[in-house]
Amino acid sequence: MADTQKSKLAQSETKPVSDKEKIVELTELAKRTQAQFENFRKQTEKRQIEFIQMASKKVLSSILPVMDNFELALKAEATNIADMKKGVELIHKQLAKVLTDHGVQELSVVGEDFDPHRHEALMKVGSKEKENTVIEEFVKGYMLYDKVLRPAKVKISGGSGKKGTDTMKNNNENTANTTEA
């Protein structure tokens, strides 16, 4: 290999390369490099799609037994409401385990200070609690590892100075209407 490099060096020293040849050579090199990069980009996209599909397959495969149990419960002729409730509770527990196994955790929010990243305030009411404390949870929030998957929908305290109930959504709509006028 060293001999071929020496012979190329000897040839290049003896034969001067014209500017046009250099331009053609560099243009070809740029085209090859660009084509290689494009192939790499396509392969990377394909691998990402395959990775997402495999991750989805794992999650969905673990949910299928829960679906099977719902179908069995719907087919069952339950004459006893208590038995039906017990069956639904077992399915709920099974689904909760699947979610936990895949990194989903429930947010515990009652008594916490309001955090707009973890909570969605639906109501603000007068309360003996300090202002902006979560006093009731309407819909549970969930985390996926360390990211909020869905914020909890909550009622927060307006402190002891507030009276009655004011829905946060109505207040936001009124503010939007006054800014448009």
68-77 tens-digit pLDDT: 998 888 887 7
Q: Pinpoint the residues of the chain covered by CATH 2.30.22.10.
A: 105-180
Lowest mean pLDDT among 94-103, 154-163, 166-175: 166-175
pLDDT of res. 82: 83
* Of 1 and 121, more confident: 121
105-180: which CATH architecture? Answer: Roll (2.30)
Q: Which fold has domain 17-102?
A: Hemagglutinin Ectodomain; Chain B (3.90.20)
Q: Pinpoint the residues of the chain covered by CATH 3.90.20.20.
A: 17-102
* 3-state SS assignment for residue 128: coil
Quickly list H helices, the chain: 2-14, 19-75, 81-101, 168-180
Q: How many CB atoms lie within 10 A of CB 156?
A: 24
pLDDT of res. 94: 94
- Which residues on neighbouring strands pair with residue 137, listed in sequence order? 154
